[in-house]
């Protein structure tokens, strides 16, 4: 081991990667994943969908343009760690108000720099996402592996990042949208407000009766972390609302809507995370470049036994990227049309949601 390294990442299969600490110096066990975005590390840091995960950035230089107050996607970042090749602690940008490492230290997000991220990302790609321990470089390997084997991943990520009480945003005179917060990014609310919507955000476990009492014009199902089968309460709520209101779901919301209709979910080998995933919209044949962040997907064959039809397809691996039930005015996509970070090819989906509310 190089003496300049003071931290290491130990994978459950015994692989070790050494680096230098930045951000918080807490020992953590997390699911290790990678993100292929070239920009947007602040939005990635503050995306609640990364709760309990260590994100390895494939782009080598991170931190160079600092942090800006208006670019956060949540108030309190819940990502477990960021692992980078080169960390820049002296950002240069006119909007920068803080450096990445200071923000990570403030919120307890561990950081490791100087890592051979190319080798590490290849390992994740070849062998899949798995548990990793981030600890001091001199911690004995045997102790690390014992901690990993004894660890049970938590299943309450959504409840930890969801709002605790309902709140409202926007004073528009347009449609009233009730958004179910499973770990929702701020730019989703901004995207609805930009279309003159008034948004009431409710917790992940809000009942169908609570949502009905708010008299919404439409219901939005947000992104969020973890396995959708860990939130059966949300699935039951959505199932009780099918056909009564237009529904629009993204990411975890897409999986929850699919489960409510009777489709099945499975875990991907290493997930989809980045701002460069090509998706085909089947109704037009148009290819959208999309922003993605998820570990689970809908089983394509399971849609055959539901009222859902396939609407979007991932061109990298053929996975389901969108589904819709025309009868009920419900649709969902696996990617992030609000971007932040990422391309804006799919912003039309918010307009489609407005069209369904107008029609309803």
Top-confidence residue, 344 or 319: 319
The arithmetic mean of pLDDT across residues 207-229, rounded, is: 98
140: left (phi over 0), alpha (psi -120 to 50) or beta: beta
Distances (CA, A) of 174 to 133, 163, 221, 292: 48, 24, 19, 29
Q: Which of 112, 55, 103 is nearest to 79 (CA)?
A: 55
pLDDT at position 170 is 79
Res. 301: pLDDT tops 70: yes
Please state, in angstroms and rounded to a whole number, the distance separating the CA atoms of residues 221 and 116: 38
Tokens 């061109």 belong to: 315
The arithmetic mean of pLDDT across residues 176-198, rounded, is: 96
For the chain, percent of residues with pLDDT exceeding 70: 99
The arithmetic mean of pLDDT across residues 346-359, rounded, is: 96
Q: Which of 327, 266, 256 is nearest to 302 (CA)?
A: 266
The pTM of the full predicted model, rounded to 2 decimals, is 0.96
Top-confidence residue, 16 or 172: 16
Q: Which helix (H) or strand (E) segment is 105 a member of? A: helix 100-106
The whole-chain average pLDDT of the chain stands at 96
pLDDT at position 340 is 83
Domains of the chain: 7-150 (3.50.30.20), 157-359 (3.40.50.880)
Residue pLDDT, tens place only, 62-103: 999 999 999 999 999 999 999 999 999 999 999 999 999 999
pLDDT at position 2 is 52
The arithmetic mean of pLDDT across residues 141-159, rounded, is: 97
User: SS3 for 354?
Assistant: helix
Residue pLDDT, tens place only, 103-136: 999 999 999 999 999 999 999 999 999 999 999 9
Q: How confident is the model at residue 230 (pLDDT cuts 50, 70, 90)?
A: very high
Residue pLDDT, tens place only, 253-296: 999 999 999 999 999 999 999 999 999 999 999 999 999 999 99
Q: Which of 324, 316, 320 is nearest to 334 (CA)?
A: 320
Please state, in angstroms and rounded to a whole number, the distance separating the CA atoms of residues 1 and 176: 58
Residues 6 or more apart from 168 whose CB is under 8 A from it?
A: 198, 199, 200, 201
pLDDT at position 6 is 96
Q: Which of 35, 64, 38 is nearest to 49 (CA)?
A: 35
Please state, in angstroms and rounded to a whole number, the distance separating the CA atoms of residues 286 and 95: 35
Q: Which helix (H) or strand (E) segment is 102 a member of? A: helix 100-106
Beta bridge partners of 227: none
Report the catalytic residues.
251, 336, 338
Q: How confident is the model at residue 1 (pLDDT cuts 50, 70, 90)?
A: very low
pLDDT at position 3 is 60
């Amino acid at each position: 081991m190089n003496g300049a390294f003071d931290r290491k990442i130990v994978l459950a299969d015994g692989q070790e990667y050494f680096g230098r600490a930045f951000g918080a110096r807490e020992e953590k066990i997390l699911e290790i994943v990678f993100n292929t975005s070239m920009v947007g590390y602040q939005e990635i840091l503050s995306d609640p969908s990364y709760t309990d995960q260590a994100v390895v950035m494939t782009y080598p230089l991170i931190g160079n343009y600092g942090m800006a107050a208006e670019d956060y996607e949540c108030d309190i970042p819940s990502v477990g760690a960021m692992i980078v090749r080169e960390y820049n602690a002296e950002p240069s940008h006119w909007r920068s108000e803080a450096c990445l490492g200071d923000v990570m230290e403030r919120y307890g997000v561990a950081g490791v720099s100087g890592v051979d991220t190319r080798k590490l990302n290849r390992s994740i790609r070849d062998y899949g996402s798995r548990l990793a321990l981030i600890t001091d470089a001199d911690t004995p390997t045997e102790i690390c592996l014992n901690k990993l084997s004894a660890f049970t991943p938590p299943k309450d990520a959504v409840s930890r990042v969801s709002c605790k009480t309902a709140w409202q945003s926007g004073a528009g005179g347009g449609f009233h949208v009730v958004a179910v917060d499973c770990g929702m990014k701020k730019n989703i609310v901004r995207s609805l407000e930009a279309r003159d919507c008034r948004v009431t955000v409710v917790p992940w476990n809000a009942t169908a009766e609570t949502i009905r009492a708010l008299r919404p014009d439409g219901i939005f199902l947000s992104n969020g972390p973890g396995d959708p089968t860990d939130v059966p309460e949300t699935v039951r709520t959505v199932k009780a609302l099918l056909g009564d209101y237009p529904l629009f779901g993204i990411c975890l919301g897409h999986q929850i809507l699919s489960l409510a209709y009777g489709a099945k979910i499975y875990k991907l080998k290493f997930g989809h995370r980045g701002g460069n995933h090509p998706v085909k919209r089947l109704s037009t044949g148009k290819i959208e470049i999309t922003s993605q962040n998820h570990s689970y997907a809908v089983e394509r064959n399971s849609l055959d036994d539901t009222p859902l039809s396939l609407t979007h397809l991932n061109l990298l691996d053929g996975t389901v990227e969108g589904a819709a039930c025309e009868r009920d005015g419900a649709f969902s996509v696996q990617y992030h049309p609000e971007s932040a970070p990422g391309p804006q090819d799919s912003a039309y989906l918010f307009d489609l949601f407005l069209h369904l509310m107008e029609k309803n």
